[in-house]
Structure 1
């Protein structure tokens, strides 16, 4: 990513109340490198094979699975959150078994790893000599140099990109440009984009910086603690979020986003979760580690 100044935040009036996407404010970043894709199952397997690391979902023995993606016997279902009844707590769900004990990833090596907590992602980064992106780095990278745009390619969710794309691109479900929900959420997915859950990380078309699927597919953990009022006090140069907090920033939306309840599949959209939470639509990508960076380690 080139050194740049950009306007961070929602410039289109799309903000979800309480998410803290405003005020729009100028941010200056030095150049940095960021993964072109989310970390894949194959990538994460390399980490666990080398270290023996067990994710928090594996240690606890359960994780959150979307109800249409459950692949487990009835006795493994642990309950349903009252405010989000499309989720199921599933015993045995983890990154190797994304739907539960009757699922696997043998043919999903190029899909994003899911069921990884912030702590798990930070542990991977420590092993790889990388870091989680700051929220500002993530948004600058996702925007691809397009000031104020809703999406990595512009404002139209169905628009074609004008940038040249590698020959490896896939375009399932044209004219969709991202992996989100189509149909009646959460009971009927029309699959117009080609996917019920995750898509291979190099699906659709990359943005002008060469990044694939920063929006849709899976939520991506960022380094920062989250606070809805942070933008009012954000630093101009290299902002890194509040110095402490209860939840960490997540960016980009996922395959479950739908305008009827969650329009967070946008460049400026923000969400958050506790650092020990894992779910079937959450993953991450990494950036180069800076010499002064001592804040992105597990449990900090």
Structure 2
């Protein structure tokens, strides 16, 4: 199981250890609407739905199921692509978190008191990149497949020497929370709440396990970009992709949303609190919930985490079966990884 992408500070803690060890509704509108600035978006009608799940095979932080109502909104039909993010950075000269040298004074706020500062040689711009082990490994140590890669960012997904040739229509990755917010502000949009995201992902299907029904691969068809095989070392690529896939490569859900399952994780605006659903279940109905007032993840109590949704190309049945509407993950606001992006929403 995985429910949390560790924080950038957590990645530095991993580096410290390494250094020390060496040294020491179904009626969505699919059409563009240029007059209201909603081109490339689809209409999500809003309504009441059961959020979360009581499925005993789900992860504990997805439970209990609870009644929620959301108002209607527009949502990007696809995850924001590299081409779209390029237009934003060219227009604004924005520099992403992964392209900046880390600030130790900020990082240490998310680490246990007394954590030693990593040497200056490793305090360089970069991001976390998935690197498949050459042989099967125990699944209790993510450092076996996540690598801190200096020079990795949205323009260089695997680090120096990599580029976006042939991937301009893929979702942008290595996007930290503030990078997504900056794009939203520039485009006149915002990030969805967790409730909005889950309502949209369900596509009007009440409590079905996946966005398209109750079977992962109905009639042998792959409906999302996920991991087939034995994570993390053996990817069979049966869906045709080892990494990210182009936008609209897999079928849309019943609201016209592409890749709302798999491909890359998507940011929401809600803080993550492992106990949040228990507080909502006490109410008869929650109307347009915006998440808890503060974050809480017992695995990293000092980290500031938001909820991300949807799973990614790295979600597999033997480790991270988060390719479900109710699935959720705690993602530190400063994390940029090779499997997290976003899409935007807008009120009518």
Q: TM-score, normalised by structure 1?
A: 0.85
* Partner SS, residue 34 of structure 1: strand
* Partner SS, residue 33 of structure 1: strand
Equivalent residue for 2:47?
A: 4
Q: Larger Cα Rg: Structure 1 or Structure 2?
A: 2
Question: Using the alignment, how far apart are the partners of 1:83 and 1:220 within structure 2?
Answer: 20
Equivalent residue for 2:186?
A: 127
Gap regions ≥5 residues in structure 2: 1-43, 102-124, 134-139, 296-303
Q: Deviations over 1:189-221 (max 9, x none)?
A: 111000000001211100100001111110000
Equivalent residue for 2:90?
A: 49
Q: Is the 8 A contact 1:3 1:30 kept in 2?
A: yes
| Aligned-residue offset at 1:176 | 1.3
Equivalent residue for 2:65?
A: 24
Question: Using the alignment, how far apart are the partners of 1:153 and 1:212 within structure 2?
Answer: 12
* Partner SS, residue 147 of structure 2: strand
| Aligned-residue offset at 1:289 | 5.1
Q: Is the 8 A contact 1:131 1:289 kept in 2?
A: no
Q: Is the 8 A contact 1:12 1:148 kept in 2?
A: no
| Aligned-residue offset at 1:177 | 1.2
Match of 1:194 among 229, 240, 247: 240
Question: Is the counterpart of residue 136 in structure 1 residue 195 in structure 2?
Answer: yes
Equivalent residue for 1:255?
A: 313
1:1-300 matches, within 5 Å, as 1-17=44-60, 20-60=61-101, 61-68=125-132, 82-159=141-218, 175-234=221-280, 236-245=286-295, 246-288=304-346
Q: Is the 8 A contact 2:263 2:313 kept in 1?
A: yes
Gap regions ≥5 residues in structure 1: 70-80, 161-173, 291-300
Question: Using the alignment, how far apart are the partners of 1:83 and 1:40 within structure 2?
Answer: 27
TM-align CA RMSD: 1.6
Equivalent residue for 2:37?
A: none
| Aligned-residue offset at 1:129 | 0.8
More helix by share: 2
Q: Is the 8 A contact 1:23 1:231 kept in 2?
A: yes
* Partner SS, residue 75 of structure 2: coil
| Aligned-residue offset at 1:274 | 1.1
Q: Is the 8 A contact 2:73 2:347 kept in 1?
A: no
Distance 1:262 1:82, change over 3 A: closer
Question: Using the alignment, how far apart are the partners of 2:80 and 2:266 within structure 1?
Answer: 10
Instruction: Could you list the structure 1 runs, at least 4 aligned residues long, displaced by more than 6 angstroms after superposition.
Output: none
Q: Is the 8 A contact 1:181 1:256 kept in 2?
A: yes
Q: TM-score, normalised by structure 2?
A: 0.73
Equivalent residue for 1:298?
A: none
